[in-house]
Amino acid sequence: MTDNAWDNLQRGDSEAIWHPYAPAVGGPDVFPVVSASGVRLELADGRQLIDGMASWWCAIHGYNHPVLNRAVESQLHAVSHVMFGGLTHPPAVKLAQMLVKLTPPGLDRVFFSDSGSVAVEVAMKMAIQYWHGLNRPEKHKLLALRNGYHGDTIGAMSLCDPVTGMHYLFGDTLPKQLFAPAPQCSFDGPCTDAEMAEITTLLSDHSHEIAAVVLEPIVQGAGGMRFYSPEYLVKVRALCDHYDVLLIFDEIATGFGRTGKLFALEHAGVVPDILCLGKALTGGYMTLAATLCNERICSGISNSEAGAFMHGPTFMANPLACATAIASIQLLLSQPWQRTVQRLQTELAAGLAPARKLESVAEVRTLGAIGVIELKEPVDMRVVQPLFVERGVWVRPFGKLVYAMPPYVMGSADVATLTAAMVDVVAQL
């Protein structure tokens, strides 16, 4: 692409497009991508970037994968989209059966939606409609964890941290939920009774109005990239059972191998009543999410006065997306993905370790294919983003976090380049 074409592309973007979490005018530079293959993004000026973000954690197989390409092309010639009200199609049925088989026993019903945020909205509505169907409409509040993140739509925003989260500006308009402290127990450590004291009190005092506890198992993602003990999940499940409250797991970021288990809940052996999946579901090719629930939820809603679950996205169970998801899951399971993720964890840990010596760094941590450098002060995106591009890597920090969640297909040499760039840029900051 010529310099003039590059300038025209950037000018057109700045005049017409509003990017996420950025001002419409005067925001940080954006970098035009014209193609992508494997773990590399090619910019319009010919530069190539090693993608350390897997396009916000979803492109686990990298880009332009022949298996996923064939899945899209094949389905395109059959049916690209059809409404899901009153109709069904083979990719949706096969994908639902796969998800039921892969997830823990009991999660036997699948509701498809468009995105992770909507999957969380669906879970919230399932929980509330369930209790309404049991003539207990007073159980309509949700109990979430501080430092959590569950999406950008109104309902999902109400579950994000109300103080430190990205959505504090909307506090006066969001539904008022309850919040327990973020788990402080480390991933490899125990979870004491003292750690559970406040959430226990909240459930004891408010179980009459709480429909469900909602949390991200093991890894709190965009709320801080924090890892915590699997024992916490075991104790929360016991509390929910004791106080007759549903349990919702948001595995949109952690599902499909990111933490070293196919689903993060497997670290604890705990089964929620409702499970949200998304992001890596289609290998990053297109948007699709799923909310799974148990027979208790399904029967409670179906046998109620309404007789139906009151939700129905236009592009629900899109055939192209379902076919691609099937191919992505089959591709993942056909490979030694556990060894691959373990290798990535080892290499991320080794590559990021030098950052611990830097004065600006508060902590360095890794789990599965997640590597995090937490700084003492927030980064300036206008400064930090071009520094990474100059080093040939794509890393998108936020707040105090400089982190990587690379595609699983990233080789050792590229991981070394990625982590070296992260440490180098942090050192400059």
Catalytic machinery residues:
21, 149, 250, 279
Q: With beta carbons less than 8 A apart as the criterion, state whether 67 and 327 touch.
A: yes
Residue with tokens 């379902």: 322
State both tokens at 121.
């909205």
Alpha-carbon distances, residue 405 vs 100, 147, 183, 381 (angstroms):
26, 19, 22, 18
Q: C-alpha angle 224/117/299, rounded to 5°?
A: 120
Amino acid at 63: Y
Q: Beta strand pairing status for 246-250 and 210-215?
A: parallel
342: Cβ contacts below 8 Å, ≥ 6 apart: 260
Which strands form 40-43's sheet, in the order they lie side by side? Answer: 33-37, 40-43, 48-51, 393-394
Q: With beta carbons less than 8 A apart as the criterion, state whether 142 and 178 touch.
A: yes
Amino acid at 292: L
Report the distance separating Cα 290 and Cα 271, nearest Å.
16
